[in-house]
Amino acid sequence: MSARLDSLPNYRRMTARDLDAVMSIENAIYPYPWTRGNFSDSLQAGYHCWLVECGGLIVGYSVIMIAAGEGHLLNLSIAASWQRRGLATGLLRFIVKLARDYAAGKIFLEVRPSNTAARALYGGAGFSEIAMRRDYYPARDGREDAVVMELVL
Ligand SMILES: CC(C)(COP(=O)(O)OP(=O)(O)OC[C@H]1O[C@@H](n2cnc3c(N)ncnc32)[C@H](O)[C@@H]1OP(=O)(O)O)[C@@H](O)C(=O)NCCC(=O)NCCS
């Protein structure tokens, strides 16, 4: 069960000025983090890049590409010390509404089979596991598959 938050989360668009804060979260929570270039390319490509803030502090973010009636959720992350408070659930709800507003009929994402927290998050939000992509991610012992998940909007 998630702990209570003292202040309501605020969602705002990510800009290049936010990348120091984003990278410090990204580098702390992933063994194979996105690079700064991945985020700046996403911003330049016009992907939907959003931050979640609590009390003015950046505590998480998400990147979704929406095109041709489909959304592809590329990144959704919450800073370690802010996890288990419902922030990812709220951010995901915000992103799902955004995808609907941009006329997406489905959202797809990939997740590591070992990432039980994320799989539970997405499953709880209504995503179904529809396929596996072999050797999708780098891993300590070679490569790790990806579970492909889909939400029909
Ligand atoms: C996965 C992640 C985004 C969840 O963020 P969060 O803000 O802690 O998630 P929430 O508090 O909204 O939790 C929602 C549900 O997810 C599941 N969950 C979240 N963290 C979990 C954990 N450590 N273990 C098991 N289940 C977990 C639970 O079902 C939870 O519901 P509950 O709190 O009612 O039990 C966060 O752990 C994270 O950023 N991890 C590193 C980055 C990552 O893996 N991103 C996803 C890549 S696909």
Phi, psi of 55 (to 5 degrees): 55, 35
Average pLDDT score over residue span 117-145: 95
Kindly report the protein residue whose alpha carbon is nearest to atom 35 of ligand 1: 1
Is the per-residue pLDDT at 7 higher than 70?
A: yes
C-alpha torsion angle, residues 104, 75, 14, 103 (rounded to 10)? 0
Regarding the beta carbon of 59 and ligand 1, being less than 6 Å apart is answered: no
Question: 93 CA distance to ligand 1 centroid (A)?
Answer: 14
Regarding the beta carbon of 117 and ligand 1, being less than 6 Å apart is answered: yes
Question: 86 CA distance to ligand 1 centroid (A)?
Answer: 8
Is the per-residue pLDDT at 102 higher than 60?
A: yes
Identify whether the C-beta of residue 64 lies closer than 8 Å to the C-beta of residue 19: no
Question: 118 CA distance to ligand 1 centroid (A)?
Answer: 5
Is the per-residue pLDDT at 73 higher than 80?
A: yes
Helices and strands (H and E) in the chain: how many: 4, 7
Lowest average pLDDT, out of 58-62, 77-81, 105-109, 137-141, goes to 137-141
pTM, to two decimals? 0.96
Question: 87 CA distance to ligand 1 centroid (A)?
Answer: 9
Instruction: Match 């016009």 to its residue by tokens.
Output: 46
Burial of 116 (0-12, 13-18, 19+ CB in 10 A): exposed
Residue 140 confidence (pLDDT) = 87
Average pLDDT score over residue span 13-40: 97
pLDDT band with cut points at 50, 70 and 90 for residue 39: very high
Bridge partners (DSSP) listed for residue 84: none
Among the atoms of ligand 1, which is closest to the Cα of residue 60?
39
Amino acid at 56: G
Residues whose CB falls within 8 Å of the CB of residue 99, separated by 6 or more in sequence, listed in order: 64, 66, 71, 107, 153
Is the per-residue pLDDT at 1 higher than 70?
A: no
In this structure, how many other beta carbons lie within 10 angstroms of the beta carbon of residue 52?
24
Kindly report the protein residue whose alpha carbon is nearest to atom 36 of ligand 1: 78
Average pLDDT score over residue span 105-118: 97
| Residue 148, both tokens | 């492909």
